[in-house]
Amino acid sequence: YGAVAELRDALAPGTLFVVTHASYEGIPLPPERAGGAVDVYKDIRSPLIMRSREDIARFFEGYDMVEPGLVPMPTWRPDPASEDEDPYSYSGFAGVGRRA
């Protein structure tokens, strides 16, 4: 959170701050089973870290959320011509904040 806050706080007023983040919320498996995939990445330079929607929302402190807010990735302004039926695509959140 510290590294993201440093970047976020250095941005100029009016700047858009975009975040997509993986989460166990929305995965059609219990977290214990999904955890096996995460464990593959634990010993690399950029490990995969899963956070809850609430924890991801903390990245936007001090920013006004752009509609539709922090939502599952396929539902953030989706293309009406394509509907993503893959349940695993809902295993993360997307949001855009604007610095006041």
- What six digits make up the tokens of 81? 């011509």
82 pLDDT band, cuts 50/70/90, is low
Say what the pLDDT of residue 32 is.
77
Burial class (CB in 10 A: 0-12, 13-18, 19+), 45: exposed
Task: Specify the number of domains making up the chain.
Answer: 1
Mean pLDDT score of the chain:
87
Residue 55 sits in a domain of what CATH number?
3.40.50.150
Q: Which domain holds residue 73?
A: 2-99
Angle (nearest 5°) at CA 3 between 57 and 55:
20
